A and B are shown apart, each in its own frame.
Chain A
Amino acid sequence: MHEGILIAGFGGQGVLSTGQLLAYSGMVEGKHVAWIPSYGPEMRGGTANCGVTIADSPISSPVVSEPTVLIAMNRPSLEKFEKVVVPGGIIFVNSSLINIKATRADVRTFYIPANDMAEEIGSSKVANNIILGALLELTRVVTTGAVEKSLYEVLPPHHHKMIPINLKALEVGAGLVRE
């Protein structure tokens, strides 16, 4: 197993934190993990992305130049990174904010209105975890249990009250792609 997951969106959408949560969960399961952010001369409202690698063997380069999974939280991210996904890979499109379709035919694409669904269950803040739930369901890269355990580690105690809704988001996302 060697998954290279690229998570991209606007600064402030929480893509870096979502990546850290995923990496942490992989570590909890004893897998090899690496996380690396884009650290260009970014500005507020600009793009942010991070690469997460989760593997059974040591990770050579943490830079995810050929992702097996792309999570595009906004339109510029889809336009910029669609072409680098490996053939047979997966693209998640946040269709709440992206009104175009992916053009690749050799990958699996899932359109998920993450912000709308997150609001439906009570908080737009958990939009990323709707897609994360779908990702876990499709790839089994880490278990939901590992993510739950990691949430307690990565969230400061005063945010622990948000954990149930985060878990709910994972479940809703998984349900969307379940056969």
Chain B
Amino acid sequence: MAKILMKGNEAIGEGAVRAGCRYFFGYPITPQSELPHYLAKRMPEVGGLYLQAESEVASINMVFGAAGTGARVMTSSSGPGISLMQEGISYLAGAELPCVIVNMIRGGPGLGNIAPAQSDYFQATKGGGHGDYRLIVLAPASVQEIIDLMQDAFDLSDKYRNPVMLMGDGVLGQMMEPVEIGDQKPFELPEKPWAVTGRLRGKEKRLINSLYIVPENCEVHNFKLEKKYTGIKEAEQRWEEYRTEGAEMVMVAFGTSARICKSVVDRCREEGLPVGLLRPITLWPFPEKGIVRLVDSVKSFLTVEMNMGQMVEDVRLSVNGKRPVHFYGRVGGMIPVARDVYTEVKKIFNGGVA
């Protein structure tokens, strides 16, 4: 199969179309604007709808409407726009509506800048909107993986009737890499017996709602959601291990940071330092099982992120005090440099001395 050179943002769009997504509602923001640009052209070609809404708040509520009819639908934005969408995301989670939300993270907080960052980890994995809910959060690390994970994103959202977030950063969105997209596979959308598609005489009334005014009922609803989340945690943790066999130290990093850590692992291994990498692919559910599997055989962990230390909290929860967990981060749109991460690794091996 011939490869083509594609931008990460375009790959999200093509991946979505191939997964059967036919509705896009969004509002432009750097560094993800090539995605709506791509879909503005692509959606009409496949009989789909592209709509630039008047705001991010409108976009996410349009997603709510389309998802309620059972359609495969998505929106995308970057940090500030995703913040505006939080109310809608909470409603989608409460009403158990499947959809895909893309966040190509930029430097924050506030208006920040348009450079790449990973500082929306907390927002994506710990809530962001109000109420007890979870998003399934996927973190690709290459343009090829973006294409592949878009299919999974839509499948998981339908399977669990839950919003899925695909989270990248400016680097992944802007870069071009060779990808293999293959032929369009025939797809069949799953049955959605809950969707509101027009009332048929004699059929039971369907209602999509996140309002449970009686506390007893709302508690039952929360218990039901929690049961679903527990099932997802059990079944859907995904991660990649890179040269972890015999490792005394394991780095934990996702997305762009993980790419940089891979080259650090190679350099360390060449020099005989037993270092490996665990790359979470699902950020929620966090791949706790991967950490637990390694915790007894390694001496320490080093989490590398493009933020001030967010995923490191989940690493520490999974390690549960058994091993030291170190952190190294660059922020504000800065990207970790392999040489600096390597220095950090050496420092830890030398007992804290550079």
Contacts and interface: CB of A to CB of B under 8 A. Distances in A.
Interface of A: 20, 23-24, 27, 33-37, 39-41, 58-63, 65
Given A24-B5, A27-B3, A36 B260 contact: no
A8 to B, nearest CB: 16
A137 B290 CA distance: 48
A35 B175 contact: yes
A41 B30 CA distance: 9
Given A39-B114, A39-B170, A41-B114, A20 B176 contact: yes
Contacts of A40: 114
Contacts of B170: 39
Q: What secondary structure prevails in chain B residues at the interface with A?
A: mixed
Contacts of B178: 27, 33
B218 interface: no
B5 A61 contact: no
B346 to A, nearest CB: 18
Interface string B1-35: 00101000000000000000000000000110000
Q: Which of B114, B178, B260 has the most CB of A within 10 A?
A: B178
Given A60-B259, A60-B260, A65 B337 contact: yes
Contacts of B134: none
Contacts of B312: none
Given A41-B114, A60-B263, A36 B175 contact: yes
A14 to B, nearest CB: 16
Contacts of A23: 5, 176
Interface string B169-205: 0110011111000000000000000000000000000
Task: Identify the 7 closest CB pairs spanning chains A and B, nearest first.
Answer: A60-B263, A35-B176, A36-B175, A62-B175, A27-B178, A60-B259, A60-B260
B176 A58 contact: no
Nearest to B267: A60
B304 to A, nearest CB: 12
B240 to A, nearest CB: 13
B79 to A, nearest CB: 15
Nearest to A40: B114
A42 B218 CA distance: 50
Contacts of B308: none
Q: Which of A20, A23, A27, A33 has the most CB of B within 10 A?
A: A27
B175 to A, nearest CB: 4
5 contacts: A33-B177, A39-B170, A60-B262, A60-B263, A61-B263
Contacts of A34: 175-177
A91 to B, nearest CB: 22
A20 B5 contact: yes
A61 B335 contact: yes
Nearest to B256: A61
B232 interface: no
Given A60-B338, A61-B260, A62-B177, 19 more contacts: A23-B5, A24-B5, A33-B178, A34-B177, A35-B175, A35-B176, A35-B177, A36-B171, A36-B176, A37-B174, A39-B30, A39-B114, A59-B259, A60-B260, A60-B263, A61-B171, A61-B259, A61-B335, A61-B338
A36 B174 CA distance: 6
A66 to B, nearest CB: 9
Interface string B228-266: 000000000000000000000000000010011011000
